[in-house]
Structure 1
Amino acid sequence: MASVILLHSALGLTQPVVDWAESLRADGHLVVTPDMFGGRTFHDLDEGTAFAESEGGPPALVDAVLAQAAGLEGPRVYAGFSLGAAVAELLALTRPDAGGLVLMHGAVSPAWFGVDSWPAGLRAQLHYAVEDPRGEPEENAAFLALAGASCETFVYGADGHLFAFEDWREHDGEAAHRMHEHVGDFLSSLD
């Protein structure tokens, strides 16, 4: 059983994130879903991103995550969707309690957080769509350059950003299913 902190996208803590958490719990994992936006949700990624930036961006969201996940014991797997992936990345690369990292819908350059070395023993997965309109290949490349062999990478034929969200206009059922399987296998391998 892995202890997973699953972080939402710039849309906020929406039903697709809750559904992913429930599915991972059904697989036997302990999963918490901190609300980094204090209950606010958005129907537009640009609006949600603007809100997150007005709050100080990923570094400013860390305290809310840690406060809401305070009860978890043992190594933690930091996982997130899009904006949540950036926060998960920051946490996993800077905290000694990180046992795993799952980035769904892209990564950011670790240099953005002032990180220039990969934590010993940290295993990771990076998932993104090949035709992601919000994708930033140079950010993914910078992350992978630092992670090296510690990161598995999965690129999907989907053409949307949040393709794993069932109620989102970019949903791709096949890619979402494959990503869920890969994440499940990764979490099971950390038990």
Structure 2
Amino acid sequence: MADPGGSRQNVTFPSNGGEAHGYLAPPPSGSGPGLVVVQEWWGLTSHIAEMSDRFAAEGFTVLAPDLYGGATTHDKEEAARLLQEMPVERAARDLRGAVDFLLEHPAATGDAVGVVGFCMGGGFALVLAAQEGDRVAAAVPFYGLPRVPGYDYRGLTAQVLGHYAEQDAGIPMSAVDEAAERIEAASGRKPEIHFYPAGHAFMNDENLIGTYDPEQAAIAWRRTLAFLHGVLG
């Protein structure tokens, strides 16, 4: 069952004339490049908050928007229902609002942000980069692609680092290769794509589907930090 009070919210920010909620994690130094972290289909869980804290500890000002309005779950059927019922246009507005919030936040440096997304959030990371143009300089999808077949990436100017699993029945390597080709053809940016000998959600140490792989997660984490610092500073 979904937990309507399970979300790790600690901040409210404007979103298209309304309000959105999320988890804000500033770096120990007090300022750093802005980074949007986009949740998996489980919601804004403790795992996403902890990932945000890890990025913040590495010097980023992190905002993880709550795309489910407070609900979280650890049940696959419930997660699928929450994803299906999520208004995509509202999610897009909230993600845009997150970029606005970080670019205006005194703790966020630079004139562009990065975005990292996991599973569902990996697809949203690519969509946000295409939607926001040069306001997103770096996009890092983990085992996620846009839900719209043949998505149009023409607005994307960000550098892209993608992490995908070789044993992922939901996202075959051929689909990742096709998306990478479409990104390069539409934007002129050749994505850096890595495939890992692991299953879907290999970064999630809550291990909800039994595929967490600490060795591959550590490799992906090091690559991600190097990439984000190289692009954002």
Give matches, 1:1-191, under 5 Å: 1-57=32-88, 59-73=89-103, 74-96=111-133, 97-108=135-146, 112-113=150-151, 115-117=152-154, 119-120=156-157, 122-148=158-184, 150-158=190-198, 160-168=199-207, 169-190=210-231, 191=233
Secondary structure of the 2:167 match is coil
The structure carrying a bigger strand percent of its residues is 2
The structure carrying a bigger helix percent of its residues is 1
Relative to structure 1, is the Cα distance of residues 175 and 183 closer, same or farther in structure 2, using a 3 angstrom cutoff?
A: same
Amino acid at match of 1:28: G
Of 124-133 and 63-72, deviating more is 63-72
User: Any unmatched runs of 5+ in structure 1?
Assistant: none
Could you tell me how far apart the structure 2 residues matched to 1:118 and 1:36 are? Answer: 23
Amino acid at match of 2:93: D
The structure whose RCO (Cα within 8 Å, separation 6+) is larger is 1
Per the TM alignment, residue 144 of structure 1 is displaced from its structure 2 partner at its CA by 0.4
Relative to structure 1, is the Cα distance of residues 116 and 75 closer, same or farther in structure 2, using a 3 angstrom cutoff?
A: closer
Amino acid at match of 1:154: H
Divergent runs of 4+, >6 A: none
Contact (CA 8 Å) 1:8, 1:35: kept in 2 or not? yes
User: Any unmatched runs of 5+ in structure 2?
Assistant: 1-31, 104-110
Secondary structure of the 1:164 match is coil
Amino acid at match of 2:204: F
The superposition leaves residues 94-139 of structure 1 with CA deviations (integer Å, 9 ceiling, x where unpaired) of 21311111100132377544x153634x200110110013223343
Per the TM alignment, residue 161 of structure 1 is displaced from its structure 2 partner at its CA by 1.2
**TM-score where L is the length of structure 2:** 0.73
**CA RMSD, Structure 1 to Structure 2 (Å):** 2.0
Relative to structure 1, is the Cα distance of residues 138 and 118 closer, same or farther in structure 2, using a 3 angstrom cutoff?
A: farther
Contact (CA 8 Å) 1:109, 1:142: kept in 2 or not? no
The superposition leaves residues 132-187 of structure 1 with CA deviations (integer Å, 9 ceiling, x where unpaired) of 132233431222002335311111111x2111011112211111111111110111
Structure 1 or 2, whichever has the larger Rg, is 2
**TM-score where L is the length of structure 1:** 0.87
